[in-house]
Structure formats: structure tokens, C-alpha cells
A and B are shown apart, each in its own frame.
Chain A
């Protein structure tokens, strides 16, 4: 068992085109560190010094992790993590 991670089109260059990859860890932060070992460069697109980058939304099952505990959100085998590009912008 592992944690399934769904990758959006824009980040599939880091996963050899795969829509879905697997990883392990007890928190979202650990999971991302584990993914980075096999998919170099992915971490930097998801995380910066301040935590999750504002350009992405990360969901644990169907909950936005920003409303959970961000990178400290506990994850377990059988969970699904979904990454989507944030759709945002504006006049200024």
C-alpha cells in the first residue's frame, strides 16, 4: 500500500508523463520529500520557504490541505493526494 498522488498536466514533465504516482510518508511534507527522490524537481514546484506555493492547490482526498494542516497534514496508506494548478489572477 502507498499513497496515490495525482499530477496535473503542467507538472507531468517531472513524472515522465505519468498522471498518477505513488509515495510514502506520514505527513504531506514527508510524502513530497519521498516523491522528490524519484521525480526530481517536483518538490520545488509545490513548496517554497513559506510552505505550499500559492500557484498550486493540494487536496487530501477531497479536502484542500490549506484548510487542514498544510505540509503537516497527516497522510496514510490508501489516501489520495491531488495536485491542481490554482486558477487565479486579477487586474493588479
Chain B
């Protein structure tokens, strides 16, 4: 576990240093530039969607046993309106508890 954390730390520093540290190459090669644009949406969704749709490891979109789906929908609407992480967390958690108490 510690090894993984340290390796990620070193690797992250090296990606930050990459072009700044290099003397020769100054631009991201064209073949890399396009894929890099889609790292954020692809990775973020790949983390989020399973967490919402399958909290126990199997697909569950029934509101009574998995209130996360409805709470996430509420959170998305709020996130589009206000871009503050704090507000979305408070509203999303409140929605989760409400749906859980109401349907569960």
C-alpha cells in the first residue's frame, strides 16, 4: 500500500515536471494532444457511474434499495446551477438521507 502511494507520488511529480524539465521538446506531440483532452470526462465518469449505480458491487437502480441514483440526479441538477462543491455535497447528502428515510 505504502509502495503504491509513493510510486504514484513520484509518477505524478514526473508528469508535472515532464515538459518543464525537458530542454528539447516543448510541445505535446499531436498524437497525444487529442486523447489528453478526453482523460478528464472519461476517468471521472468511470469512477462516478459504478459508485452511483452499483454501490454494493452489483447493478441496483431500484430507488428503495439504492437511494444513490435519485440523490445523484438531484446533485447533477444542483451542480449545473451552482458550481460550488460544498453546496453540491450538502444538497446531495441531504437528498440521499431523505430518499433513504422516505423509500427505504
Whether chain B is bound by chain A comes out as no
Query: Which residues of A approach B to under 8 Å, CB–CB?
Result: none
Binding site for A on B (CB under 8 A): none
